[in-house]
Amino acid sequence: MHLKDAITLEIIMKKKRCHSVSKTVFPILTVLCFTNLHAQPLETIEVLGRSNTESLSAQLAPELDTSADFRHSLTKLPGVSVNENGGITAIPQYRGLFGNRVSVQIDGAEIAGAGPNAMDSPLSHAMPKPVSILTVYRGISPVSVGAETLGGAISIDTGLQSRFSEQGTWNSKLSLHTRGDRDADHASAYVGYANRAFFVSVNGIDQNQVGAQDGRGIEIPNNFYARHGYGTDIGFRYGDHSFSGTYQKIKTQESGTPALAMDIDYIAANWYRFHYDFQGSNQDTNDIQIALSVYGNQNQHGMNNYTSRPLASMMMARENLVDSVSRGYKGQVKYASGLGHITSGLHWDETEHNSTISNPLMGSLQINNFNQVKRARQSLFVEWQSEYENTSVKLGARYTQVDSQAGEVANSMAMMNPNIATIVDRFNQSNRAADHRFIDISAHFNGDINKQVSWHASLAHKNRAPSYTELYVWLPLGISAGLADGRNYIGNLALKEESANQLDVGMSFINKNITISPRLFYQSIDDYILGELSTDPLANMISTMMSGRAPLQWQNTDATLWGTDILLNAQLTQNLSLDMAATWVRAKRDDINQPLYRIAPATLSTSLRWQSEAWLASIESELVAPQMQVSNLQDEIPTAGYGLIHLLLQYHLNEHIKMTLNVDNLLDKSYQSHLSGVNRVNGAEVMADERLYATGREISAAISLTW
Q: How confident is the model at residue 68 (pLDDT cuts 50, 70, 90)?
A: confident
Q: Assess if residue 8 is contained within a domain.
A: no
Q: Assess if residue 513 is contained within a domain.
A: yes
- Alpha carbon 343 to its chain centroid, in Å, reads 27
Beta-bridged to residue 209, according to DSSP, are 184, 225
Which residues 6+ apart lie within 8 Å of 25 measured at CB?
A: none
At residue 37, does pLDDT exceed 50? no
Three-state SS annotation for 446-485: EEECCCCEEEEEEEEEEEECCCHHHHHCCCCECCCCCCCC
Q: Assess if residue 1 is contained within a domain.
A: no
At residue 331, does pLDDT exceed 50? yes
Q: How confident is the model at residue 389 (pLDDT cuts 50, 70, 90)?
A: confident
Which residues 6+ apart lie within 8 Å of 475 measured at CB?
A: 367, 369, 409, 411, 420, 423, 490, 542
Residue 239's domain spans which residues? 22-706
Q: Assess if residue 474 is contained within a domain.
A: yes
Q: Assess if residue 11 is contained within a domain.
A: no
Residue 77 has a pLDDT of: 87
Rounded alpha-carbon distances, angstroms, from residue 290 to 106, 280, 342, 345, 415? 19, 9, 12, 10, 58
Q: Assess if residue 15 is contained within a domain.
A: no
Q: Assess if residue 187 is contained within a domain.
A: yes
Whether 504 contacts 520, CB under 8 Å:
yes
At residue 112, does pLDDT exceed 60? yes
- Structural domains in the chain (count): 1
At residue 2, does pLDDT exceed 60? no
- For 442, counting Cβ atoms within 10 Å of its Cβ (0-12 exposed, 13-18 middle, 19+ buried), the class is buried
Report, as an integer, the average pLDDT of 258-280. 95
- Three-state DSSP at 609 gives strand
Question: Shortest CA distance to 93 belongs to which of 62, 71, 111, 119?
Answer: 71
Question: Shortest CA distance to 464 belongs to which of 54, 107, 53, 153?
Answer: 153
**Strands 263-282 and 285-304, bridge-based pairing:** antiparallel
Whether 81 contacts 585, CB under 8 Å:
no
Report, as an integer, the average pLDDT of 409-437. 95
Report, as an integer, the average pLDDT of 193-209. 95
Question: Shortest CA distance to 430 belongs to which of 415, 409, 413?
Answer: 409
Tens of pLDDT, residue by residue over 359-372, are 999 988 999 999 99
CATH number of the structural domain spanning residue 173: 2.40.170.20
Report, as an integer, the average pLDDT of 598-602. 97
Tens of pLDDT, residue by residue over 655-688, are 999 999 989 899 999 999 999 989 999 989 999 8
Report, as an integer, the average pLDDT of 308-334. 95
Report, as an integer, the average pLDDT of 37-48. 30
Tens of pLDDT, residue by residue over 282-302, are 554 458 999 999 999 999 999
Residue 130 has a pLDDT of: 81
At residue 44, does pLDDT exceed 60? no
Choose between 312 and 231: higher pLDDT: 231
Report, as an integer, the average pLDDT of 187-195. 95
Which residues 6+ apart lie within 8 Å of 333 measured at CB?
A: 288, 289, 290, 291, 343, 344, 345
Tens of pLDDT, residue by residue over 541-577, are 999 998 889 999 999 999 999 999 999 999 999 999 9
DSSP per position, 177-188: EEETTTTEEEEE
Q: Assess if residue 6 is contained within a domain.
A: no
The rounded distance, in Å, linking the Cα atoms of 349 and 110 is 10
Across all residues in the chain, what is the average pLDDT? 89
Report, as an integer, the average pLDDT of 115-121. 93
Tens of pLDDT, residue by residue over 477-536, are 999 989 999 899 999 999 999 999 999 999 999 998 999 999 999 999 999 999 999 999
Residue 283 has a pLDDT of: 52
